[in-house]
Structure 1
Amino acid sequence: MRIAICDDLEADRASLRAALNSIPALFAGTATEVREYVSGEALLMETEDNGAVFDLIFLDIYMGGITGMDTAKELRQLGASAPVIFLTTSPDFAVESYEVNAAGYLLKPIQLEKLSALISHLLTSVERPRVCIQSGRRRRYVFLDDILFAESDNHSLAIHLSGGEILPCSEKLSDLAARLDGRFLRCHQSYLVNMAHVADVVEDFILKDGRRVPIRTRERREIADAYYRFFVTHTLSAL
């Protein structure tokens, strides 16, 4: 989990970090990284220019320069969907916080009990697994469920994401496959498919958006059976 703390007061950032460190559920069984920003501008620059992606964002509302509320609005415009928790000494912005789909609103000084309760409530929704992808000079943290399929062409790799984005990568397809979970299937020498996005199997995998992903001819039955087992397990677990 990657957490951003954006507050122009060093003492308040340190206090929140200490409070987060005292919540066992936040760090149990997962690698958690907490990054601090002294202004909304710094957080927006990191998000827009460096592709930083967070699972949870704490924003102080009253900061020098751009306010936390305006920072949240710009983050949403940049496509950031992480839960935002506002921190402030005044409840004046409580109503406006709903415009950016805020996950919470905590008054300073932060009460550990309220922070812990809010974190516990959010954990189930923010714990979507990611994979780190090196794309050119940028490092991207991609949700696994956003990956439709990956295709290899000579020495280049293209990762197709939901929404139409194609992420170029120099990694080998076999190395990428080794870092993914059981929903991904190596169905062809040059293709890897996310079975959760498959709608049908004919000669190829037919994705829910209509695109086709080739299946290795000599192993078509085995690959189709592997998808069938995934489909049955996935369907039963959703009941």
Structure 2
Amino acid sequence: MVTIFLCDDNKQTINKYDSLITYLAKKNRITFTLSTYESGEALLFHLADSPNLADIIYLDVLMGTLNGVDTAKRLRELGCDSQIIFLTTSEDYVFEAFDASPVQYLIKNSTSVERFEEILLRAISRAEGRKTEMFVYESGGVRKVIPMKEISYFEIWKRLVKVHTKNGESVEYYGTMEQLEKQMQDKDFLRVHRSYMVNLQYIGKFTRPSLILKTGEVIPIGVTYAKLVDQAFSEYISRLSIHR
């Protein structure tokens, strides 16, 4: 079951995307529920106590008092891990939208049905994957797990690995950076220093010689990693590229 929320201040637009999502879900044999909201305030009110009710949230950018980007940022502050997809008539907010870690930024009336379907299926895949993907480590002879989405960064000193989570907590185990790099390959984690590896989804700003995470923590960038970090950060931002 996939839970989808659609937020737009235009009823015609809500009806249009409600019908499109329903059509595509049935076409791909996806069981889903769809709830609609006509303002960012209404969406935030509904999710205030349970920010992760939705797997996917479609957000109009240009709404009334509270626009979609600011709504998304407030949702992230509440701890919302939903897959956010912006729908808009303007390209002006694409870089500002990056802070909300969206799946995509799509232009209304210009995005083809095929492209919309591709993004929807990607979001569903990511949502399902994040529900089950775990980081496994061993401590005191006991195998333990942490949801990947909860990890903001790893810190290593000698052979002690410290796993930092988004809520400010941490756990420790013994291992090496080489083992960690192999384990986190293709997991959207990037080594930025001989002692640090970060979750790309938590990067707020790239300001040499450091990264500022969305948790407020500052992570140093090693001189030998600067070029790689710059490239990886640029590629990550490019996921917000405009699609029509």
TM-score, normalised via structure 1 length: 0.52
Q: Percent identity?
A: 29
Look up the equivalent residue of 2:125 and give its one-letter code. T
* Cα distance in 1 for residues equivalent to 2:71 and 2:62: 11
2:144 aligned partner: 208
TM-score, normalised via structure 2 length: 0.51
* Cα distance in 2 for residues equivalent to 1:63 and 1:86: 12
* Cα distance in 2 for residues equivalent to 1:26 and 1:83: 21
Cα shift at 1:51: 5.2
Conserved? CA contact 1:25–1:120, under 8 Å: no
35 and 26 in structure 1: CA distance in 2 versus 1, 3 angstrom threshold: farther
2:91 aligned partner: 91
1:21 matched to 2:22? The reply is yes
Look up the equivalent residue of 1:117 and give its one-letter code. E
Look up the equivalent residue of 2:98 and give its one-letter code. Y
Conserved? CA contact 2:51–2:78, under 8 Å: no
Conserved? CA contact 2:61–2:86, under 8 Å: yes
Conserved? CA contact 1:104–1:118, under 8 Å: yes
1:123 matched to 2:124? The reply is yes
SS of the residue corresponding to residue 49 of structure 1 reads: coil
Cα shift at 1:27: 5.5
* Cα distance in 2 for residues equivalent to 1:117 and 1:144: 22
Cα shift at 1:123: 2.6
| Residue correspondence of structure 1 range 1-239 to structure 2 within 5 A | 1-24=2-25, 28=29, 30-49=30-49, 53-109=53-109, 110-128=111-129, 143=131, 199=138, 206=142, 208=144
Superposed CA deviations along residues 153-192 of structure 1, whole A, max 9, x for unmatched, are xxxxxxxxxxxxxxxxxxxxxxxxxxxxxxxxxxxxxxxx
* Cα distance in 1 for residues equivalent to 2:104 and 2:113: 14
Cα shift at 1:50: 5.2
* Cα distance in 2 for residues equivalent to 1:27 and 1:65: 36
**Structure 2: where are the runs of 5+ without partners?**
146-244
* Cα distance in 2 for residues equivalent to 1:16 and 1:77: 27
Conserved? CA contact 1:26–1:119, under 8 Å: no
Q: Larger radius of gyration, structure 1 or 2?
A: 1
1:139 aligned partner: none
Cα shift at 1:144: 6.5
Cα shift at 1:92: 0.6
* Cα distance in 1 for residues equivalent to 2:27 and 2:78: 26
Q: Which segment is superposed worse, 44-53 or 93-102?
A: 44-53
**Structure 1: where are the runs of 5+ without partners?**
130-142, 147-195, 210-239
Look up the equivalent residue of 1:23 and give its one-letter code. L
Higher relative contact order (Cα pairs below 8 Å, separated by 6+ residues): 2
Look up the equivalent residue of 1:3 and give its one-letter code. I
Conserved? CA contact 2:58–2:87, under 8 Å: yes
Number of paired residues?
A: 143
* Cα distance in 1 for residues equivalent to 2:60 and 2:53: 18
Look up the equivalent residue of 2:123 and give its one-letter code. L
SS of the residue corresponding to residue 23 of structure 1 reads: helix
5 and 61 in structure 1: CA distance in 2 versus 1, 3 angstrom threshold: same
Superposed CA deviations along residues 120-171 of structure 1, whole A, max 9, x for unmatched, are 2223211259xxxxxxxxxxxxx5779xxxxxxxxxxxxxxxxxxxxxxxxx
* Cα distance in 1 for residues equivalent to 2:63 and 2:4: 19
* Cα distance in 2 for residues equivalent to 1:91 and 1:34: 26
122 and 51 in structure 1: CA distance in 2 versus 1, 3 angstrom threshold: closer
